Amino acid sequence: MNSNKSFFTCEQVRNFSHNPLSSFSDIISEHPSLLENVHIAKKIALTDFPILIHGATGTGKDLFAQAIHTHSPRKNCAFVTVDCKEHNAELLEEELFGYEDISNDSSSLFDLATGGTIFFNNIGDLSPKIQTKILSVIENKGWRRLNGSRLIPLNVRFISATNKHLALENDFREDLLYRLNVLSISLPEVKEIKQDIQVFIEHFLAKSGSTIRIDQAVQDALNHYDWPGNIREIKNTVDYMLTVSDGRSIQLHDLPHGLIRVDKQKTKKPQEKNTIQLTMMDKLEYAFILEEIKLQNEKGEPASRRVISENSKSLSNPLTTQQVRHRLDFLEKHHYVTKGRGRAGTKITLEGVDFLLSLKEIIK
């Protein structure tokens, strides 16, 4: 076999592909900074310069890389992803370059990517040895199979992505960084574009085909959360809530536990102040009322004063409906519950769940 040619034509590569790639229409946002990124990426896509995409985990680096490829003149050839974090140096070297053999050369990722794009995800985890080899490929505009001597012309567009500050990484080659970072895009974290949280949630719900209703307390919790896992965490959370909900509406108890705990630090001081001012009997009664509301909410039933009063007969000092009303007024004032008319009933908030947990700790 002639080892100075690539193995595959673009037509053959298209036949190998099973999963459609993302396009810019798949990037959903209403935030100016993300929309500006899309605008820039569309311009960048039309060039053939190497691109470095920087962003925290879950911000959509792979989505942007695919969209750039599908918007580029190379869209009819392969988009080959190499996850530098998942490969050890020896295996990655074999897969990238293949072997030259007298009887039969082995194919490589550079063969597959010829005419198209090679996407190095988590480029910051690339070993020093492979960094040197990639730098040589770019500088020489060609590559050699392992054990080979002939230079194979390079016809590949490089896109790389990282969640690291490569300029500060002592083990990442500065000269390679300059080669890969000819054009760059920096993606914002969700906590920087909070107005898009609702947009992302509605998008993932629509993709699931669900018409389920999200309770306002849940929506408040989702909007308040910082989403350290970014867009990927939002998608996972939507999938989780759809799985555990009753199919009619999503309530606070359908949230992942990490989200329910999110306000502990932010609400710690006002909670401590409120609990100090309460007697132990008050704390017992408020804990009982909040627990009752939470249980009724989980059943999808309205938590009325009458029901809470009836169920309080198990206490040493049962509560009248008037006493329940006064205590609900206190809880609503401090945003631990929301009171609705008729069948809407009273609902516990995220702050209320956290307050209930703190009361239980004190009562213990």
Would you mind telling me the total number of residues written for the chain in this entry?
364
Average pLDDT, stretch 323-352? 82
Helical segments of the chain, H only: 10-16, 32-45, 61-70, 89-97, 109-113, 128-140, 174-180, 197-208, 216-224, 230-244, 257-260, 268-276, 280-298, 305-311, 321-333, 350-363
For residues 23 and 151, membership in a common domain is answered with: yes
Q: How many domains does the chain have?
A: 3
d(CA 242, CA 252): 12
**What are all long-range contacts of 17-20, with beta carbons under 8 Å and residues at least 24 apart?**
17/78
Looking up residue 97, the CATH number of its domain turns out to be 3.40.50.300
- Looking at residue 217, what is its pLDDT? 82
What does DSSP say about strands 142-143 and 152-153: parallel, antiparallel, or unpaired?
A: antiparallel
Domain boundary among 171, 188, 205: 188
Q: Which of 26-30, 154-158, 288-292, 310-314 has the lowest mean pLDDT?
A: 310-314
Residue 3 maps to a domain: no
| Residues 231 and 291 placed together within one structural domain of the fold | no
CB atoms within 10 A of CB 47: 14
Q: Decide if 74 contacts 117 (C-beta within 8 A).
A: yes
Question: Is 344 inside a domain boundary?
Answer: yes
Distance CA 150, CA 96 (A): 16
Q: How many other CB atoms are found less than 10 A from the CB of residue 246? A: 12
Residue 84 structure tokens: 């530098």
Q: At what angle do helices 128-140 and 89-97 cross, to 10 degrees?
A: 20
Residue 90 lies in a domain: yes
**What is the distance, to the nearest Å, from the Cα of residue 130 to the centroid of all Cα atoms in its chain?**
29
On whether both 167 and 199 belong to a single domain, the answer is no
Give the CATH number for residue 226.
1.10.8.60
CATH of the domain at 286: 1.10.10.10
pLDDT tens digits, one per residue of 64-86: 999 999 999 999 999 999 999 88
Provide the pLDDT for residue 273.
45
For 54-65, what is the mean pLDDT?
96
Domain housing 255: 191-260
* Nearest-5° Cα angle at 10, 4 to 13: 100
Statement to judge: residues 218 and 298 lie in one domain: no
Q: Is the pLDDT of residue 52 over 50?
A: yes
Six-digit token string for 149: 């001597």
Identify residue 123 by its one-letter amino acid code. Answer: I
